[in-house]
Amino acid sequence: MATADGPGAGLLRTAADRLERGWEAVLDHPLVWLAPTLVLLAVFQLYPMLEALRMSLTDASLLEPGADYVGLANYLDLLTDPEFWGMLRVTAIYAFASVVFHVLLGLVLAVAIDYGVRRGLYGNVSTRVAVLLAWVVPGIIIGLVWKVMLVESSFGAVNHFLGLVDVGPVPFRSNPTLALVSTIVAGTWRGTAFTMIMIYGGLQRIPRELYEAARMDGAGRWARFRYVTIPQLKPVIFVTVVLVTIYALNTFDLIFALTGGGPGRATQVLSLFMYQEAFTDYKMGRAAAVAVVMLVINLVLTGAYVYAFDVTEEI
């Protein structure tokens, strides 16, 4: 204890003070707070993306080490490959149908629940929970759940019920068209929760006075929906459409488990096409070119999203 009062104590205290002040100066620099994030983003996002870009210019293969630069050959190759265009067609159909069903189903659900809550109906929360539950199920398992639902013999659940009205058994996964329909249904099953929640939130932000005013003008229920609700929801619906389009275009796990892209290439969307090129055909260069195409599509849609939301205002 004696040393606490000795001359060394003062020195120690100044040293501690200096350390304290140094520490504070360090904490006053934003980079300290952001450093872990920046490192993670650089290593696990930016670097792989640049690596994809680089690989897309090579003839890299998983079968042999080393690769030569081939310029834009992979891209030209893709553009002249009918399979690539067939896959783009499948992707476009999948994404378009997904967006339409997501938004329609979500819109009707949101409007119905909004009405139900105001009117005092039972089951508003239960309905919402049922929809959200589907969204929580992991993608791979959603694929398997629907595989079990759509078993192609008359013992399958859906085929059994269709059998009751003398339809089927329907080859849900081995018929190319039906397989695509099945993936769209399963995708909608998962994603509707998102559109429902987004649009429901949008409905709550519509000023009630608008409805009152419309009523004063003699607008009926349908007219109020058509001329008040829909125009007011437009921004929310646009943002939702962009986001759902991004999700749909990047869907992988659900389709991977449900159909694996088959039969043939009937349900092979962009991400599955890329995956097969890389890990089944070992054409890494070509697969990387597909990844870059996906990256560009993602960037364009992000641009649309930023434009829609005017995020820059908020920054």
| Beta carbon nearer to other proteins, 190 or 266 | 190
306 binds other proteins (CB under 8 A): yes
Contact partners, residue 93, CB within 8 Å, separation at least 6: 180
| Minimum CB distance to other proteins, residue 37 (Å) | 4
Instruction: Find out whether 244 and 98 touch, Cβ atoms under 8 Å.
Output: yes
Contact partners, residue 29, CB within 8 Å, separation at least 6: none
| Beta carbon nearer to other proteins, 41 or 79 | 41
Number of H-type helices and E-type strands within the chain: 16, 0
70 binds other proteins (CB under 8 A): no
**Structure letter (DSSP) for residue 152:** S
Instruction: Find out whether 221 and 84 touch, Cβ atoms under 8 Å.
Output: no
Instruction: Find out whether 263 and 176 touch, Cβ atoms under 8 Å.
Output: yes
* One residue of 1, 4, 63, 136 binding other proteins per CB under 8 A: 136
* One residue of 126, 166, 177, 218 binding other proteins per CB under 8 A: 126
171 binds other proteins (CB under 8 A): no
| Minimum CB distance to other proteins, residue 277 (Å) | 8
Residues 174-233 touching other proteins, rule: CB under 8 A, are: 189, 192-194, 197-198, 201, 204, 208-209, 211-212, 215, 221
Which range, of 2-10, 45-53, 74-82, 168-176, touches other proteins by CB under 8 A?
45-53
Among residues 113, 133, 131, the alpha carbon closest in space to that of 123 is found at: 113
| Beta carbon nearer to other proteins, 163 or 176 | 163
